[in-house]
């Protein structure tokens, strides 16, 4: 459990008098606005840096003649503000951005106002500047990628696969970037050319590529072996799709959600890939959307937000792998698609930019917080001297209590007093039997 996800229920008890201070957290599944970006953008990238800030780079702005952007900016979760940082050498959208083990960010490919790009560049958070790095490999005159995938491998190299090349053909080619040499080298090509697909690093080190579009939307999937540098076909999805999302769950399975299809326009079916059996399980239907984001939260759930048949929407849903169920996650302040969603170090999710309801890129950003609210309903000191308090919450939720007699102690030094029993549906009650000799106690309730 993460100490920084503690719900601030601070109960101060003096003798027979109970004095409590309760700091209300964000409601479960709530979105709250944060500062707007300096530049409206969609089809950009967002990368969490080692210092906890988020780098947003490129994308498309509001200039209809030259929409592609080279600008970049940083979001600071501590202050909730955006500041401009160094601009890229090349304006680009539909590119990829990967945080390298050395702390730099590799941006590769994409398109600008004139062409599909083979160039790549590195962002250094220490200096706030970009430097050009090697260009992608020339395959028989084709050396560019857009709407491709980029995956950081366990050996520190980056696998770039598929996408549209500079002839706007869906390419099979794949290549590797080595941060040590800053060079690109070819690796085995995929079995089929595809764009708008997904690539997911599996626990065994292989990369699962699924779906996408060639002439039509694809149901096929294949696995890349970094040791052999080869691709092998694996089980096909139950429904052909492109522009979907794929999320590696904590149980090792891969959740694929939504997408578009040349067969049925938009795909409502979601499914799970099991790496052990190399098969897909069709698990149910949701609203049929695309241009959304899917983010693995600290608690193992998946937040799916935005997108929609019109290219934008304000709705969000939560997937719980433990139950296989979806629940409503609230509404964003702005409907958006082709945005970014980044899990911050404080457990919140930063949603930024994208296309809004009028078809223009957005400046706005907002934060999703999955904290479960605690509503204090009563507190007392029992005849035995034990302290007791109650609260209401979601039925079936779980909580742990931290306690101390010194409010000035750092949170890491608070003692864990045990779990909170649910005494009736949605009503939780905790009795601190260890506090019978204490003149005062301070409590915090933590949700997993």
pLDDT of residue 404: 83
For residue 21, being part of any structural domain is answered with yes
241 lies in a domain?
no
The reply to whether 428 falls in a domain is: yes
- Alpha-carbon distance of 160 to 95, in angstroms, equals 11
Phi–psi pair at 64, nearest 5 degrees:
-65, -25
Q: What is the pTM of this model?
A: 0.81
Contact 374, 9 (CB under 8 A): yes
Question: What is the token pair recorded at 331?
Answer: 């509404």
Residue with tokens 């409503």: 328
- DSSP class of residue 16 equals T
What integer pLDDT is reported at residue 138 of this predicted model?
A: 76
| Whole-number pLDDT of residue 378 | 72
Does residue 401 lie in a domain region? yes
**How many domains does the chain divide into?**
1
Where residue 424 sits, what CATH number does that domain have? 2.60.40
Residue 412 φ/ψ, nearest 5 degrees? -65, -15
Answer yes or no: is 405 within a domain: yes
Residue 172: what pLDDT?
93
Ranges of residues in the chain with a pLDDT under 50 are 1-27
Q: Which domain holds residue 433?
A: 3-25+373-446
pLDDT of residue 43: 97
Query: Does some domain include residue 415?
Result: yes
pLDDT at residue 140, as a whole number: 67
Tokens matching residue 100: 């390298």
Is the residue at 386 inside a domain?
Answer: yes
Domain-located, residue 169: no
pLDDT tens sequence across 7-51: 444 443 333 233 333 333 344 568 999 999 999 999 999 999 999
Contact status, residue 386 vs residue 13, Cβ threshold 8 Å: no
């Amino acid at each position: 459990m993460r100490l920084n996800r503690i719900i601030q229920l601070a109960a101060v008890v003096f003798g027979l008098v109970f004095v409590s201070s309760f700091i209300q957290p964000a409601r479960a599944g709530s979105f709250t606005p944060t500062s707007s970006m300096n530049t409206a953008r969609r089809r950009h990238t967002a990368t969490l840096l080692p210092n906890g800030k988020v780098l947003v780079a490129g994308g498309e702005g509001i200039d209809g003649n030259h929409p592609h952007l080279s600008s970049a900016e940083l979001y600071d979760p501590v202050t909730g503000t955006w500041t401009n940082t160094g601009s890229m050498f090349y304006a680009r959208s539909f590119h990829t951005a990967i945080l390298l083990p050395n702390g730099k960010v590799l941006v590769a490919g994409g398109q600008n106002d004139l062409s599909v790009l083979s160039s790549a560049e590195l962002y250094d958070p220490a200096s706030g500047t970009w430097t050009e790095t090697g260009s992608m490999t020339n395959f028989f005159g084709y050396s560019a990628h857009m709407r491709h995938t980029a995956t950081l491998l366990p050996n520190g190299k980056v696998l770039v696969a598929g996408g549209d090349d500079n002839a706007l053909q869906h390419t099979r080619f794949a290549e590797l970037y080595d941060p040590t040499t800053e060079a690109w080298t070819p690796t085995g090509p995929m079995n089929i050319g595809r764009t708008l697909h997904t690539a997911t690093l599996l626990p065994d080190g292989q990369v699962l590529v699924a779906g996408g579009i060639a002439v039509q939307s694809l149901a096929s999937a294949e696995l890349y072996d970094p040791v052999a540098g080869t691709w092998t076909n694996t089980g096909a999805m139950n429904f052909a799709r492109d522009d979907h999302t794929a999320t590696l769950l904590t149980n090792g399975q891969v959740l694929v959600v939504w997408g578009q299809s040349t067969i049925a326009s938009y795909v409502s079916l979601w499914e799970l890939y099991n790496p052990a059996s190399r098969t897909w399980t069709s698990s149910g239907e949701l609203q049929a959307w695309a241009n959304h984001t899917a983010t693995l939260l600290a608690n193992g759930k998946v937040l799916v937000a935005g997108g929609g048949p019109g290219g934008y929407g304000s709705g969000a849903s939560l997937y719980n792998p433990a139950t296989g169920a979806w629940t409503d996650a609230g509404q964003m302040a702005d409907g958006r698609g082709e945005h970014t969603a980044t899990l911050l170090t404080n457990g919140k999710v930063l949603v930024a930019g994208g296309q809004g309801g009028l078809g223009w890129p957005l400046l706005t950003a907002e934060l999703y917080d999955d904290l479960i609210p605690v509503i204090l309903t009563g507190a007392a000191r029992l005849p035995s001297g034990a302290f007791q308090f109650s609260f209401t919450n979601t039925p079936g939720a779980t909580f742990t209590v931290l306690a101390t007699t010194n409010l000035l102690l750092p949170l890491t030094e608070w003692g864990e007093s045990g779990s909170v029993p649910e005494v009736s549906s949605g009503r939780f009650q905790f009795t601190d039997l260890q506090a019978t000799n204490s003149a005062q106690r301070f409590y915090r309730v933590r949700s997993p």
